Amino acid sequence: MDTVVANSREMIRLGSRSFALAAKLFDADTRHHAWMLYAWCRHCDDQIDGQNLGMQPGRAQPASAATSAATSAAASEGDSPAARLASLRRETHRAFAGEVLTEPVFVGLQRVSRACGIPERHALELLAGFEMDVGNHAYRDFDDTLLYCYRVAGVVGVMMAQIMGARDVATLQRAADLGIAFQLTNIARDVLDDAGNGRCYLPATWLAEVGLSPVTLAEPANRAALARVVARLLEQAERYYQSAGCGLQALPFRSAWAVSAALGIYRAIGRLVLRRGPQAWDQRVVVSTPRKLAELALGAGSALRAHLFDRWLTTLPRSRDLWTIPEP
């Protein structure tokens, strides 16, 4: 294993235990490509938020030397998020242009894009999502929230599906559905943390219906009303999880297993948030190790069923009101 792959493995191990666990189910080539894509996504996210592996600098776990070097190099381009975003766009373009690179996260992106045929527009779509953060985008209605979710997570699902060998539009759309479901779950879990950082991804129209606003949602007296809005958000996430599950039959068995396991683990996060109600944000919601292992086993069953039975059945049509991948 070379240094680029090893650095990527370390980043996913420290940055997302859930995804790292699910990725172990891939075959070696798919796993290495997934690690490298994750490393680039994680690095970009960290640069925009001024974090290290998704955590504030004071709380971050030690990163590898290569990761720290990449973070320092990009940060030196400028202290503002806008300057860092411009640097990320420039380095990402260089990766797709085939230029000689030294930073491991961009070398990894270059390898993945070449090996798996990932177009540059998908990577730029992710950066467009981060631009919404940099520009303090206002989320007036649910369509605004869905646009953000597609850009920062749905398109990652598309790229992951391409790593797994998917090329047809229907399968890529189901992969986008899974990414959107993941991000809706993230928003539900992290709503108060986001508010503390001056961000709100909940639709303003939904908040207004329960007497809240992006400014007042974090007040302790408003927890019950906030929980109702979050429950509504998770109802929508469930629709995307259900749609994503219909795409398993198009993937190789081990990939279907990994995707199904990740789906189950993330879905469990949302269900824990729902169960706790107004107390959901008293401490960070995490899925226990036994529950994760159970989801791995359940994921194997779902993948097996998809390959033995579902592929011979007519796939349920996708609801027309779900988010659709924009035309290139």
Token digits for 133?
């953060």
Domain boundaries for CATH 1.10.600.10 within the chain: 136-328
Token digits for 204?
């303003």
In this predicted structure, what is the pLDDT of residue 58?
38
Read off the amino acid at residue 49. D
Token digits for 308?
């033995």
Specify the fold of 136-328: Farnesyl Diphosphate Synthase (1.10.600)
Q: What is the pTM of this model?
A: 0.91
Cα 62 from Cα 14, distance rounded (Å):
8
Question: Which residue in 273, 271, 244 sits closest to 260, CA to CA?
Answer: 244
Cα 14 from Cα 11, distance rounded (Å):
5
Neighbours of 119 (CB within 10 A): 14
Local confidence pLDDT in tens for the 328 residues of the chain? 689 999 999 999 998 888 898 999 999 999 999 999 999 999 999 999 886 665 554 344 444 444 444 444 444 445 788 999 999 999 999 999 999 999 999 999 999 999 999 999 999 999 999 999 999 999 999 999 999 999 999 999 999 999 999 999 999 999 999 999 999 999 999 999 999 999 999 999 999 999 999 999 999 999 999 999 999 999 999 999 999 999 999 999 999 999 999 999 999 999 999 999 999 999 999 999 999 999 999 999 999 998 887 666 667 788 989 999 988 7
Question: What is the sign of the dihedral through the CA atoms of 70, 76, 78 and 79?
Answer: positive
